Structure 1
């Protein structure tokens, strides 16, 4: 019996490399297909207003790819819930949307929502996404209180920002402290009946310790670490390597 993977491959870095030239390669959809054929759960992309990596056209190409060839896989769109992004969600109808509190100029997501300040904007965006039958996840700092806020807002899932944990790759004591925070947040979310995702700077080296303590995490969105690994091992083999680190193979 096959095991459903937790791995959602973020292909933003593929698009960034492609955008260096006015050429169609490397192919975002081609490499996404390789990842899903190798066993990834789905694909994550974070289209930004300036299209510096993923373009609007990529979103629709990926949605079509999944609908036509991989109907049991998932597309997750990540972004700040501005009107243009919400319009993209409405048109593309991904399986999941991850709302993040990013400024458009940020190079990457690096903090969770301030729920006390941003409740109104999130409630409006979440109501719209649910009308479109799109699962809503909210990006949270590793803080149990954040999970409780997300649950009160009516989110279906959270994604825990694991950047601080990943940043301690050469600091075992620091990694242990950051792991405690991630696990406490995951447990608080589970207690609130929220699905738990995790993402940022996860690697084949630091995933096992996380899943040993929080095996109920249902999805891991991995882009930078996956792409770095794939430059050495190839996209298909990196799917295998990450799935092995998750105990799926």
Structure 2
């Protein structure tokens, strides 16, 4: 089965936040994405609200519940108490935990599962008891012990950090090496019963090879490249292009 596409709305929110005005509409463009066949919407509400604002969360939840009940809401963030309270208030179908420092511009590495074992174990237990699917941001370096820890603490999935893969847009040879490492990591994850998501710097150009190599890819979450393409092709057509790149029939 082809990977599902979750549209990350943060870049749209960042553009809106340049002015004290309600456009571009985060919810409105999320609606267009879902109408075009996206399987869900992703947000990363950072403490300073520089992208998604906390006030965006309830309208996005309502959009999915009222108009697209088959879609999923994915909230990602560092597991502070404030973030966990947002999750519990807005009830996403999936929670993706990332090891970001609040000052980071964007996610740029996976968890160190050995050092963060206790933190993640407690948070995952809390979230699972409340019925959330939990995904943990992970490097695609084939670290078997790290993935064993992720499984042991109860995660449902990992999300492969694909930034290094996307960064090789001008170096196909290096890109192929990183793709193979991502594929091996996904295979190891499957051995431990973990589902596999992926995200960061994925594009229509590099996504087909990723989807072909990782046959157990459940979902991709894409924001920057998709939003950039939407400026050229429009949101609806861009979602269809990315769905085709995932291997979906459109």
TM-score tier by shorter-chain length is over 0.9
Ranges in structure 2 where 5+ consecutive residues have no aligned partner: none
TM-score, normalised with respect to structure 2: 0.96
1:57 aligned to which of 45, 55, 58: 55
Residue of structure 2 in register with 1:87 after alignment:
85
CA distance in 1, matches of 2:232, 2:124: 39
Alpha carbons 2:76, 2:98 under 8 Å: kept:
yes
Question: Does the CA-based 8 Å contact 1:5-1:39 persist in structure 2?
Answer: no
Once the 2 structures are TM-superposed, how far is the Cα of residue 149 of structure 1 from its aligned partner? 2.2
Distance 2:242 2:108 in 1: 22
What whole-Å deviation, never above 9, does each CA across 1:157-184 have from its counterpart, x for those lacking one?
A: 0000000011000101100111011101
Please point out which of 138, 150, 153 is paired with 2:136: 138
Distance 1:5 1:164, change over 3 A: closer
Q: Is the 8 A contact 2:75 2:92 kept in 1?
A: yes
Partner of 2:98: 100
1:142–1:185 contact (8 Å) kept in structure 2: yes
Shift of residue 4 of structure 1? 7.3
Q: Which residue of 2 aligns with 1:74?
A: 72
RMSD: 1.1
Q: What's the CA shift for 1:214?
A: 1.2
In 1, the alpha carbon distance for the partners of 2:148 and 2:196 equals: 12
In 2, distance between residues paired with 1:110 and 1:5?
A: 22
8 A contact 1:93–1:132 mirrored in 2 = no
TM-score of the pair, normalised by structure 1: 0.97
How many residues align structurally? Answer: 247
Query: What secondary structure does 2:168 align onto?
Result: coil
Question: 2 CA distance for matches of 1:4 and 1:200?
Answer: 18
The residue aligned with 2:120 is 122
Once the two structures are TM-superposed, the CA of residue 34 in structure 1 deviates from its matched residue by 0.3
Match of 1:247 in 2: 247
